[in-house]
């Protein structure tokens, strides 16, 4: 199987025009095999129809032009500044290009070079174009066929030692052969390609390297985006299959014995979103397929209540249910909330945390083992330790910090194969959730219970700080509490600690000398953090100075002020999480962003100011900041998992990829059918990283 693709797995050195020295240089760019080269696609495309004749470039325009270097040199200025200049020529005329402060370009650009330049045209001893960007399209003595430039100019990611023109030449010599080889990696039939509205793999790669239109480039990108989404979903579908369908789970029987009484004892009706999500959960739980569902919902959207109903269904089906929280303080908080709701039903809740005495623990373990404890809340120790359950049926995981993919796998490994519900209070766009958690089914609580008082958000500048302090003082005087958050100054924890610590000193000794000020930062142990949060909860601290480590799920209804310094340094979703720490009680709460930011950052902060909807904020964040390192530390490979797919606009493609992947795996879980042999070989040969990431294979 794998040998089918072996031509593309050959080292790059055997390609035309690539000797030992160049292949070393390629190696430093991460291009080792012929396939690596084929997938080294241009980063920029310029449509020839937007290329302006040099003679037409007027002062004040932003120009894009192609011309040959007729003369060049370094011009010193009186102040000692050095400017590199090159005069470009085409059929229509000439123009001077100037690169202030980049004299080293004199070594890179030669007379006779063909350059593509983009930048503003200014007046300086005549017309002068100052390139923001330029691409070396060709070198006079090296070019074979100038005519092959086509109507779209492509620019590859290049480097000083591997310049553009070399890359172009290597592609000119090898692209046809590479495209021919890649045909054997086509895993979609003509029919499927048409059905999906895609183009073939070879056509896609040709479109990216040798486009004749920009829409063709997009069609190429879309095909490669589908490939990466599909293979990712395929791995996730396999995990999902192993965890859910490979062996039956528990089919719970609903009697309404407990669910009905809970409905009547709650002082409110469920929101439409809660009712919908519960239907999804009930349906999973009543079937003998194992549930592995992710419940996403903003802070306060009522996830706990949903979890409780699910737990009651497990109890009605004569099973036990547990809820796990990431920290003790959060476990205690859940235990309190859930315990209150269970009390009218006469069900007792068991709390199990690490800080209980050995005696208490032994008692709790016994109750879980003999089944006298039906509902338990605790930290992760609850199921990771060798805790025996009589009949564990449902595990709810309060996923405050996103679990690593691998850690999620562990959840599935309890011998009784309980249903699993993972909850997340970090709204992310649906497409992102599907890409990250394709092995789970997704439920979204996108509606807040009625009657919430929105947090008032204000945008202030540093010179208004004294006003802010006066406001905090006022609130503390009224008996309320406040948070003051500082960003990580840089990646270094030390610097982070320093700035928050310094501010803490200043605030506690000078500004709020008469108040109780606490400090929370990332270098404290979990226990110390818990201790400080407990003091804050107990009102022993009026003002909590913190770096971003404030626990996501922490609930201090008496805290009404959230001040965020250097707000521009935070992502919108992060700001949203921080704002969610206040507005949890009956009193009006306020979130104050302090920022010296420029217009662009201010626009961003205004989006945040304008909405309280976490999903909307997450979508804006995705659009502004991109998908970044989506898989974070999960990823060990050199390339990002998603290079071509753009989750802010490829959701439709992702759905298609997911449904195909799941359908395939449902019919042929190990991809052993003759028709799937190529697919499984490709998966093995080309996507091993993804397999490992999800612990498959
Ligand atoms: P989350 O866990 O999603 O942050 P909770 O489940 O803790 O949210 O709910 C937040 C608050 O809203 C709780 O006090 C809860 O009792 C209340 N609540 C939940 N659902 C509703 C509803 N449908 N109508 C009114 N209040 C609700
Ligand atoms: Mg089930």
Each residue of 457-476: pLDDT tens digit? 999 999 999 999 999 999 99
Position 244 pLDDT exceeds 90: no
Q: What percent of the chain has pLDDT over 70?
A: 91
State mean pLDDT over 577-599: 89
Query: Average pLDDT, whole number, for the chain?
Result: 88
Give the atom of ligand 1 at the shortest distance from the alpha carbon of 451: 25
Position 389 pLDDT exceeds 60: yes
- Tell me which of 66-75, 472-481, 524-533, 610-619 is least confident: 524-533
Evaluate whether 18 touches 184 at the Cβ level (below 8 Å). Answer: no
392-398 and 62-76 beta bridge pairing:
unpaired
Q: Which CATH superfamily is domain 259-445 in?
A: P-loop containing nucleotide triphosphate hydrolases (3.40.50.300)
Position 286 pLDDT exceeds 80: yes
pLDDT in tens, 405-427: 445 555 556 677 899 999 988 88
Give the atom of ligand 1 at the shortest distance from the alpha carbon of 307: 6
Assign 12 a pLDDT band (cuts: 50, 70, 90): very high
CA 255 – ligand 2 centroid, Å? 15
Position 350 pLDDT exceeds 80: yes
CA 292 – ligand 2 centroid, Å? 9
Give the atom of ligand 1 at the shortest distance from the alpha carbon of 305: 6
CA 308 – ligand 2 centroid, Å? 16
Position 497 pLDDT exceeds 60: no
Which residue's CA is the closest to the ligand 1 atom numbered 6? 302
Position 494 pLDDT exceeds 70: no
How many H helices and E strands in the chain?
25, 21
In eight-state DSSP terms, residue 511 is I
Evaluate whether 193 touches 199 at the Cβ level (below 8 Å). Answer: yes
Residue-level pLDDT at 22: 94
381 token code pair: 């120790």
State mean pLDDT over 433-454: 89
Assign 3 a pLDDT band (cuts: 50, 70, 90): very low
Which residue's CA is the closest to the ligand 1 atom numbered 9? 302
Give the atom of ligand 1 at the shortest distance from the alpha carbon of 341: 16
For residue 135, the cross-strand partners are 116
Evaluate whether 64 touches 117 at the Cβ level (below 8 Å). Answer: yes
> What's the chain's Rg over C-alpha atoms?
30
Q: What percent of the chain has pLDDT over 90?
A: 59
pLDDT in tens, 171-182: 999 999 999 999
Name residues contacting ligand 1 (CB within 6 A).
Answer: 268, 270-271, 274, 297, 299-305, 425, 449
CA 522 – ligand 1 centroid, Å? 29
Question: For residues 584 and 588, what is the distance between their CA atoms, to the nearest angstrom?
Answer: 9
Q: Phi/psi zone of residue 44: left (φ > 0), alpha (ψ -120 to 50 degrees), beta?
A: beta
Assign 125 a pLDDT band (cuts: 50, 70, 90): confident
pLDDT in tens, 664-683: 999 999 999 988 988 988 88
Residue-level pLDDT at 203: 97
State mean pLDDT over 434-456: 90
Question: For residues 48 and 654, what is the distance between their CA atoms, to the nearest angstrom?
Answer: 32
- Tell me which of 13-17, 335-339, 490-494, 629-633 is least confident: 490-494
Question: Please, what is the angle between helix 201-209 and helix 164-182, to 10°?
Answer: 170
Give the atom of ligand 1 at the shortest distance from the alpha carbon of 266: 16
Position 226 pLDDT exceeds 70: yes
**Residues comprising the chain, all counted:** 697
Give the atom of ligand 1 at the shortest distance from the alpha carbon of 270: 23
128 token code pair: 């002068």
Task: Give the ligand at the shortest distance from the Cα of 577.
Answer: 1
Residue-level pLDDT at 2: 44
CA 271 – ligand 1 centroid, Å? 10
Question: For residues 164 and 126, what is the distance between their CA atoms, to the nearest angstrom?
Answer: 30
Q: Spell out the domain ranges in the chain.
A: 44-155, 259-445, 456-611
Residue-level pLDDT at 408: 53
| H-only helix segments in 478-613 | 493-506, 526-537, 572-579, 599-610
Which residue's CA is the closest to the ligand 1 atom numbered 11? 300
Residue-level pLDDT at 120: 94
Same fold? 259-445, 456-611: yes
Pick 687 or 148 by higher pLDDT: 687
Residue-level pLDDT at 33: 93
How big is the CA angle at 574 (ends 544 and 547), to the nearest 5 degrees?
Answer: 30
CA 271 – ligand 2 centroid, Å? 24
Residue 378: closest CA among 320, 310, 325, 425: 325
Which residue's CA is the closest to the ligand 1 atom numbered 25? 449
Question: For residues 477 and 65, what is the distance between their CA atoms, to the nearest angstrom?
Answer: 66
pLDDT in tens, 81-120: 899 999 999 999 999 999 988 898 999 899 999 899 999 9
Residue-level pLDDT at 549: 67
CA 582 – ligand 1 centroid, Å? 15
Evaluate whether 546 touches 520 at the Cβ level (below 8 Å). Answer: yes
For residue 65, the cross-strand partners are 117
Task: Give the ligand at the shortest distance from the Cα of 400.
Answer: 1
pLDDT in tens, 590-639: 999 999 877 878 889 999 999 999 999 999 988 888 887 667 644 555 56
Residue 434: closest CA among 668, 229, 694: 229
For residue 33, the cross-strand partners are 11
Q: Which CATH architecture has domain 456-611?
A: 3-Layer(aba) Sandwich (3.40)
Question: For residues 474 and 587, what is the distance between their CA atoms, to the nearest angstrom?
Answer: 14
Position 140 pLDDT exceeds 80: no
259 token code pair: 């669910």
Evaluate whether 646 touches 627 at the Cβ level (below 8 Å). Answer: yes
Give the atom of ligand 1 at the shortest distance from the alpha carbon of 553: 4
Q: What is the dihedral of CA 175, 177, 179, 182, to 10 degrees?
A: -140
Pick 147 or 67 by higher pLDDT: 67
- Tell me which of 423-432, 459-468, 537-546 is least confident: 423-432
419-424 and 292-297 beta bridge pairing:
parallel
To test ligand 1's pocket by mutation, which of 297, 298, 302 has the most ligand atoms within 8 angstroms of CB?
Answer: 302
69 token code pair: 């270097």
Evaluate whether 687 touches 235 at the Cβ level (below 8 Å). Answer: yes
Evaluate whether 541 touches 533 at the Cβ level (below 8 Å). Answer: no
CA 448 – ligand 1 centroid, Å? 8
Q: Is 18 helix (H, G, I), strand (E, B) or coil?
A: coil
Task: Give the ligand at the shortest distance from the Cα of 584.
Answer: 1
Task: Give the ligand at the shortest distance from the Cα of 282.
Answer: 2
Q: 44-155 has which CATH code?
A: 2.40.50.140
CA 433 – ligand 1 centroid, Å? 23
């Amino acid at each position: 199987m794998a040998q089918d693709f072996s031509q593309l797995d050959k080292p790059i050195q055997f390609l035309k025009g690539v000797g030992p020295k160049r292949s070393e240089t390629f190696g430093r760019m991460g291009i080792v095999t012929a396939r690596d080269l084929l997938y080294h696609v241009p980063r920029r495309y310029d449509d020839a129809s937007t290329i302006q004749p040099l003679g037409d470039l007027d002062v004040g325009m932003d120009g894009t032009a192609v011309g040959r270097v007729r003369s060049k040199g370094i011009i010193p200025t009186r102040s000692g500044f050095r400017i590199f200049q090159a005069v470009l020529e085409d059929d229509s005329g000439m123009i001077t290009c100037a690169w202030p402060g980049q004299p080293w370009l004199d070594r890179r650009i030669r007379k006779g070079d063909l350059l593509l330049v983009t930048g503003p045209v200014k007046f300086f001893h005549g017309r002068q174009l100052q390139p923001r960007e330029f691409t070396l399209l060709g070198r006079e003595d090296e070019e074979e066929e100038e005519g092959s430039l086509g109507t779209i100019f492509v620019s590859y990611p290049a480097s000083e030692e591997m310049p553009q023109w070399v890359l172009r030449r290597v592609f000119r010599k090898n692209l046809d052969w590479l495209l021919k080889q890649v045909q054997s990696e086509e895993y979609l039939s003509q029919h499927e390609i048409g059905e999906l509205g895609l183009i073939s793999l070879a056509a896609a790669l040709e479109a990216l390297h040798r486009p004749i239109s920009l829409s063709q480039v997009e069609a190429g990108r879309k095909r490669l985006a589908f490939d990466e989404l599909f293979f990712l979903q395929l791995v996730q579908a396999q995990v999902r299959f192993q965890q859910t369908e490979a062996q039956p789970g528990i089919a719970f029987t609903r009697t309404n014995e407990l669910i009905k009484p809970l409905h009547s004892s709650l002082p409110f009706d469920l929101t439409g979103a809660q009712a919908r999500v519960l239907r999804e959960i009930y349906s999973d739980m009543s079937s003998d397929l194992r549930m592995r569902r992710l419940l996403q919902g903003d802070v306060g959207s009522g996830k706990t209540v949903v979890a409780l109903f699910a737990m009651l269904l497990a109890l009605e089906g004569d099973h036990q249910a547990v809820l796990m929280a990431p920290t003790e303080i959060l476990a205690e908080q859940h235990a309190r909330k859930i315990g209150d709701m269970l009390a009218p039903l006469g069900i007792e809740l068991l709390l199990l945390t690490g800080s209980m005495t050995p005696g208490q623990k032994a008692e709790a373990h016994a109750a879980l083992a003999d089944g006298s404890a039906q509902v338990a809340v605790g930290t992760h120790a609850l199921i990771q330790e060798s805790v025996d359950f009589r009949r564990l049926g449902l595990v709810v995981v309060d996923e405050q910090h996103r679990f690593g993919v691998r850690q999620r796998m562990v959840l599935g490994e309890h011998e009784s194969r309980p249903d699993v519900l993972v909850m997340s209070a970090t709204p992310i766009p649906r497409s992102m959730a599907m890409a990250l958690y394709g092995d789970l089914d997704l439920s979204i609580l996108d509606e807040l219970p009625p009657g919430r008082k929105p947090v008032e958000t204000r945008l202030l500048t540093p010179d208004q700080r004294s006003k802010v302090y006066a406001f905090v003082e006022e609130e503390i005087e009224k008996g309320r509490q406040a948070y003051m958050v500082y960003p990580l100054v840089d990646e270094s924890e030390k610097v982070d600690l320093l700035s928050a610590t310094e501010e803490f000193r200043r605030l506690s000794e000078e500004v709020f000398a008469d108040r109780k000020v606490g400090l929370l930062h990332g270098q404290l142990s979990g226990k110390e953090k818990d201790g400080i949060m407990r003091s804050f909860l107990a009102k022993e601290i009026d003002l909590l100075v913190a770096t971003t480590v404030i626990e996501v799920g922490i609930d201090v209804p008496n805290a009404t002020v959230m001040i965020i310094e250097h707000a521009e340094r935070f992502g919108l979703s992060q700001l949203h999480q921080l704002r969610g720490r206040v507005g949890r009680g009956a009193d009006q709460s306020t979130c104050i962003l302090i920022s010296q930011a420029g217009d662009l950052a201010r626009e961003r902060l205004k989006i945040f100011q304008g909405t309280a909807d976490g999903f909307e904020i997450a979508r804006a964040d995705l659009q502004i900041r991109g998908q970044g390192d989506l898989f974070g530390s999960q990823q060990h490979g050199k390339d990002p998992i998603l290079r071509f797919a753009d989750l802010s606009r490829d959701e439709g493609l992702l759905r298609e990829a997911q449904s195909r992947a799941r359908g395939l795996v449902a019919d042929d879980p190990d991809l052993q059918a003759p028709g799937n042999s190529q697919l499984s070989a490709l998966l093995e040969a080309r996507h091993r990283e993804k397999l490992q990431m999800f612990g498959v294979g």
